[in-house]
Structure 1
Amino acid sequence: MEQKLERFLTWAKNNDAFIDSRINFVSNTDLGLLAKANEDISASKIFEVPSTICLGPDLARSTLKNYLRDDLYYDSGDELTTLLISKLKFDKSCEHSFGPYIDILPDKLSLPFYWNHQERSLVEDTDLKVILDRNFQKLVEEWHSLVESLIDKEKHLSFEAGLKADLNFYEEYITGKYDEYRLYEYLNKKIQSWTSFSAYVWSRSILMSRGFPYLLVAEDNSKPNLTKACLIPLFDILNHKSNSPIRWTPVMESGTGNVIFQLERGVKKGEQLFNNYGNKSNCELLLSYGFAEEKNPHDSASITLKIDDGNIFKKALAHGVKFFDGKNKIKDINLLTKGVNFQISNECLLPSNLIDFFAFVVQMKFEESIGLSLRMKLEAIAQVMNILENKVSLLKKNIPQIDGVDTQRWRYIKTYRNGQRLLFQKSLEKVLSFEKNILKKYKTRIFAFKSLLKIDRSFASAVTKGLRLISDQDITGLKMDDILLLWLVRIYNKDASPSNSFPAISEYGPLISLILTQFDAVKSSIDIDDADRSDYKDFYSSYVPELAERSPDVFAKGNWDLDTFIIADTVVDRIVYKRPANQELHFVSIIKIEE
């Protein structure tokens, strides 16, 4: 590597690149090439690179012109630059002047494209795995579309034969003949053809991990150049460190035809010089560069949902809920039903649209005329909590270092998972705080069931006697969802109960009216069949006969048949909220709240 490095530095200087003499380049087993200060360096210019030795789309078009069809447009992204890198690296018949630079590019890469099955399994059920699979599939299709369109204007038979052999990979891949094991072997074996998919993956990985915005070397800042990448020799040797104060001066600004790299803060002797790839999460760093950063201040996580019902999105949009793809708003229902993403970061632990959207996911038909109801908001909070708790639980699992897993990759994966877990945990705490604020704000419209049980002593005593409990306190050890159904039917039958068996809870008059109103509403709209009755038969036989026999003043007055309990359970869905943190049950008034 030392000889290759020396040839590269000589090549760069011979092509009029400037390299600060106070910099020393060294090779590190884990980090590859890196730059260190051999004396104190103040804030200053350290590299100046001519655009003529940078690899980008303009050079790609001119170099590959004999392979590109005149009737096709080849300027949609980084395809041509990727193919150029492939040709310079793997086409032994290609004569070019970039040899010393190409030779220092690493043959073995650590990007997740090259991970084996065991390593990929460590990120199963994470954003990283989902994005990795999606990106790989896009890369396959991109390569196939590009390579299939290539021609050889010089009509070399060997090129046509090689192209046909390379395209055979695509046919086998789409028919499922490449599992993770075979794919790993294919991507990690020696590359023979510059038009092969393995060459394309390597070249795109190089462009992803070492690339810079093409605007730095472009001669204009037109829109087609905004999203493209290029390779800038020397610049790409420096490793990344978040918030490193550096400055890139593009060709259009320098006025010299060169792109300039400048330190904005001094570096001490012996310290490593760093680049700054931008504010990237560990997921982005792993996907594009193959590493993760401890305590990354720019880390992020996400909740991705796929909901096919477009009406939910229509209702949410109509009530002001906003959806984004990056910074761009999305209003297209067809796009939204393909998947919607909610980003979580240290700056935004609880996206405002997340709970508002879930409110319309859980909206019941009777609430459509209300808008955003209190129950919808609380139930949305419960749904989000459940998702976050599952995320935290999944990421808490220890991932032991097993045979076949590279030690450095294992460390980076642990760093990524720990960062994700921490963000989801912080987000969960934020949701818990948000729930407390909602409960406090609407405390006069929310009624705790356990408080009602303390007041309704006749009901508590009847349950204690009927179920042969030692004391009323033992009720809390029962399944409270079942006790709630019994109490609701008891309220429904209040007019049939003796006056002395019904609690004097005048302060809860609005709640009693709400319960009775909902019984009537459900009773007039619900159709009960034998399948419904079968679902409730075990519950009914476990409680009602014994309670009616031993506490008839409460449980044998009025209508206590099976259908009434089925109706009561639907009433629960409409007006009861179960707090996720402690499973306590609360009655919730049917009111519209602020959107």
Structure 2
Amino acid sequence: MGKLEDCIQWAVKNGSIVDERIHFKQSSISGISAVVEGILATEEPLIQIPSKLLITNEKAQESFQVDSDVIDKNAPNALVQLYVAKLKFAKGMPSIYQPYIDLLPLKLEQPYFWDWKELQVIKGTDLYLVMKQRLPKLLEEWTTLLKKLSLEPSDDLGQLETPGLDLVDYVARYRETNEQLPWNSFAAYVWSAGIFASRAFPKIALNDQCLSINEAFLYPIVDFLNHKNDTKVKWCFQDGKMCFVSKESLKSGEELFNNYGDKSNEELLLNYGFVQDNNQYDDARLTLRLDSQLLDGAEQLGIPLSQERVTDNSVQFKLNKKELLPHNLVKLFALVHKLKSEDGINLRNSLEGIDSLQSILMQKVEFFRQKTRIDASASRKLQILRKYFDQQRRLFQLSIENGQKLQKELIKSNSEFLISFKTIFKNDKQFSNSLLLTFGVAKFEDLITKDCMNQILLLWIVRVANKNEYAKKLPFEIPQFIYDTFQEVSSTIVIEKEDVLQMMGFYQAMFPAMSEKIPEIYGQGNWRIRQFIVADTVMDRLVWTRKLTQEPFFVKKQRIAF
């Protein structure tokens, strides 16, 4: 008889009830699962476990002979986790739970328990950062508890508390060099925390006398059931037993599932060691380092970041299928590209911010595309990891597509405040024809291929500034906001020597040659170097170049709301 059968018989002998239509099986690949024989469609309890078989804080208090005062409400499961570590690893530890404890696997599927070589594949990802952030919290609650219980750890605390120590790496190497884990080792405590992460149930389902909403307990037999999203189940305590009810109608041969809750693939992988295809609850982290003063000022402009801000100079957003681009993320990127001359978030900096955000998302897509190319043929864990990386890539790709859609909507709904330079090039034929002689430009696309777009924009902006100097009225309507912005900048700008030196090379290459060759355009009005320095500032304030097409737009100052 195997350990699984031993455990089921142990539970039944101690008063548990397992519906005879449920059969548990175990394989080296998929682990333990429960399959239905016959038709199962009932709201009666399928599995009932008496309270004496539940592993709770109260049982841990009895074992360590302490009261509830030793339990920190911020770490409500520390004591019971230490108790489970003792049950599993302490020699000669008699326990009513022995058949269940024997069945708990030593090698867990979560990345915290992977081999050192397998962990190298995760390094550099947000997944690894989350692991590195969690373990110091576990270390603190473990050491604090040991002191309260006057217990000595088997580890060298001086080494464990070394600043900058990678605890993920430490635990992996400790397991590799210690075939038998001491029950009072940090690695044993991390194992027990992994058991609770993957198997524990909320204590509030047992009774409402909880130390914390996060207090949990182990629920033998029921914790063998695998997870499936949106499965309808109920847990309830009645007649001295913790009962499991499935509200699903199952046919013979179908698996009986539990529902761990709406979990992202990151949560599923870190806590349970698997991921789900097309997980509607999946999300991806986007962590950004930005100037702390910019983040401080964001709230003043209506961008609350209290939930996203993780350090003084960094924020972290979660992208999911319901909100692929959170509004505050889009607003923040608009703020990043806000000029000093702009009062707040407007159309121009929003469009430019989306472009900048898209570039970062594209880097994420490429990063995860490279990660999916790992050789996972010899490792089931790496196969799961590759699936996780691919799901992350897809989420970032969907976010890019959402950004493109948002940008199109902004352009369409604010069309009265934008004018494409491609349209200007088409309408101002005299100007566009002049470029053939000086730049060899015959069509708009040549401006991009010949990499002379900025020079042409400067020339056209100065042409706008001179519109009243031409003998004939220009045969197209110039947007007044471009002319007005030029006049505003010209009246307030302070030109430094460096500005002149920076513009000098371009200016000398163009003038006086262009005035002599095409005087009807470049010989009318003011074409001195100062005008081009002003035009350069106007271009910064008004021009947005769409990255997707490299097409410049003149954008009028216009506040927008998402």
**Cα separation, partners in 2 of 1:519 and 1:119, compared to 1, 3 Å:** farther
> 8 Å contact 1:54–1:232 — kept in the other structure?
yes
Q: Does 1:514 align with 2:489?
A: no
Q: CA deviation at 1:339?
A: 3.7
Confirm whether residue 187 of structure 1 aligns to residue 178 of structure 2. Answer: no
| In structure 1, C-alpha distance between the alignment counterparts of 2:549 and 2:506, rounded to whole Å | 23
TM-score (structure 1 length as normaliser): 0.84
Q: Aligned partners of 1:507, 1:542: CA distance in 2, in Å?
A: 27
- Structure 1 residue 415: Cα displacement: 1.9
Q: Which amino acid is 2:540 matched to? A: D
**Equivalent position amino acid for 2:52 in 1:** T
Q: Which runs of structure 2 are paired with 1:167-566 in the superposition (5 Å)?
A: 167-171=157-161, 173-174=162-163, 176=165, 183-188=171-176, 189-217=178-206, 219-222=207-210, 224-249=211-236, 251=237, 254=238, 256-314=239-297, 316-323=298-305, 325=307, 337=312, 339-368=314-343, 371-397=344-370, 399-402=372-375, 407-469=379-441, 474-479=446-451, 480-494=453-467, 498-499=470-471, 503-521=474-492, 523-524=493-494, 528-530=496-498, 539=506, 547=514, 550-551=517-518, 554-555=521-522, 564-566=531-533
Identity %: 31
Cα deviation for residue 260 of structure 1 reads 0.6
* 1:498-552 deviation line (CA, Å, top 9, x unaligned): 435x73333533432233333434x24xx5353x566556655665576466445
CA contact (8 A) 1:292 1:412 kept: yes
What secondary structure is seen at the aligned counterpart in 2 of 1:100? helix
Deviation (angstroms), 1:199:
0.5
The alignment partner of 1:366 has SS state of: coil
Aligned residues: 558
CA contact (8 A) 1:166 1:195 kept: no
Q: Which residue of 2 aligns with 1:157?
A: none
Letter of the 1:86 partner, please give it. Answer: A
Q: Take 2:509 and 2:134, find their aligned partners in 1: how far apart are those partners?
A: 54
User: CA contact under 8 A between 1:375 and 1:588: conserved in structure 2?
Assistant: yes
Provide TM-score, normalisation by structure 2: 0.89
CA distance, structure 1, for counterparts of residue 479 and residue 349 of structure 2:
22
Contact 1:205 1:288 (C-alpha < 8 Å) held by counterparts: yes
Kindly indicate whether the alpha-carbon contact (under 8 Å) linking 1:374 and 1:590 is maintained by their aligned counterparts in 2. Answer: yes
Are residues 401 and 73 of structure 1, via their aligned partners in 2, closer, same or farther at CA, if it must alter by over 3 Å? closer
1:414 is matched by which residue type in structure 2?
R
For the structure 1 residues 469 and 278, does the alpha-carbon distance in structure 2 shift closer, same or farther, using more than 3 Å as the test? closer
Alignment equivalent of 1:583, drawn from 538, 550, 560 = 550
Cα separation, 2, equivalents of 1:363 and 1:473: 29
Q: Which residue of 1 aligns with 2:132?
A: 133
Hey, what's the Cα distance between the residues in 1 that align with 2:331 and 2:341?
A: 18
CA 442–413 in structure 1, closer or farther in 2 if over 3 Å, else same = same
Which stretch shifts more, 429-438 or 275-284?
A: 429-438
Work out the CA distance in 2 between the residues paired with 1:305 and 1:275. Answer: 36
Counterpart in the other structure of 1:146? 145
CA spacing shift, 1:64–1:564, aligned 2, 3 Å: farther
Measured in 1, the distance between the counterparts of 2:249 and 2:551 equals 58
Q: Deviations over 1:282-327 (max 9, x none)?
A: 111001101101121221223233434345444x4344434463xx
Q: Secondary structure, in 3 states, of the residue corresponding to 1:190?
A: coil
Alignment check: 8 A CA contact 1:54 1:231 kept: yes
Cα drift, residue 196 of structure 1 = 0.9
Change (3 A) 1:542 1:278: farther
Larger mean CA deviation between 202-211 and 452-461 belongs to: 452-461
1:432-461 CA-partner distances (Å, limit 9, x unpaired): 222222211221111111111222223223
Unaligned runs of 5+ in 1: 153-159
State the alpha-carbon separation in 1 of the partners of residues 444 and 182 from structure 2.
80
Tell me the distance in 2 between the aligned counterparts of 1:484 and 1:92: 80
Q: Residue 362 of structure 2 aligns to a residue in which SS? A: helix
1:50 aligns with 2:23: no
Task: Report the Cα distance in structure 2 between the residues aligned to 1:143 and 1:565, rounded to whole angstroms.
Answer: 67
Equivalent residues of 1:69, 1:149 under 8 A apart: no
**SS of aligned partner of 1:187:** helix
Alignment partner, residue 84 of structure 1: 83
1 CA distance for matches of 2:255 and 2:546?
A: 52
- The farther-off stretch of 455-464 and 270-279 is 455-464
Letter of the 1:321 partner, please give it. Answer: I
In the alignment, residue 277 of structure 1 is paired with which amino acid? Y
- What is the RMSD computed on CA atoms of the aligned residues? 3.1
| Residue 156 (structure 1) aligns with | none
- Whole-Å separation in 2 of the counterparts to 1:323 and 1:263: 40
Match of 2:535 in 1: 568
Any conservation in 2 of the 1:519–1:571 contact (CA below 8 Å)?
no
Contiguous gaps of at least 5 residues in structure 2: none
What is the CA–CA distance in structure 2 between the aligned matches of 1:549 and 1:472, rounded to whole Å? 24
Give the distance between the partners of 2:259 and 2:53, measured in 1 at CA: 22
Deviation at 1:563, TM superposition (A): 5.6
What letter is aligned with 1:103?
Answer: D
Q: Is the 8 A contact 1:166 1:197 kept in 2?
A: no
AA in 1 matched with 2:16: A
Query: Contact (CA 8 Å) 2:132, 2:168: kept in 1 or not?
Result: no
Task: Give, in whole Å, the separation in 1 of the partners of 2:440 and 2:314.
Answer: 53
Helix, strand or coil at the partner of 2:341: helix
Aligned pair in 2 of structure 1 residues 467, 363: CA closer, same or farther (>3 Å)?
Answer: closer
1:292 and 1:420 map into 2 onto residues whose CA distance is 11
Q: One-letter code of the match for 2:414?
A: Y
The Cα offsets for residues 326-373 of structure 1, whole Å up to 9 and x where unpaired, read as xxxx8xxx86745433332222223222222322232222222xx432
Which residue identity does 2:175 align to in structure 1?
L
Q: Which string of whole-angstrom CA distances, capped at 9 and with x for unpartnered residues, describes residues 214-263 of structure 1? A: 2122x3244x33112221101111111112222211x2xx2x22211112
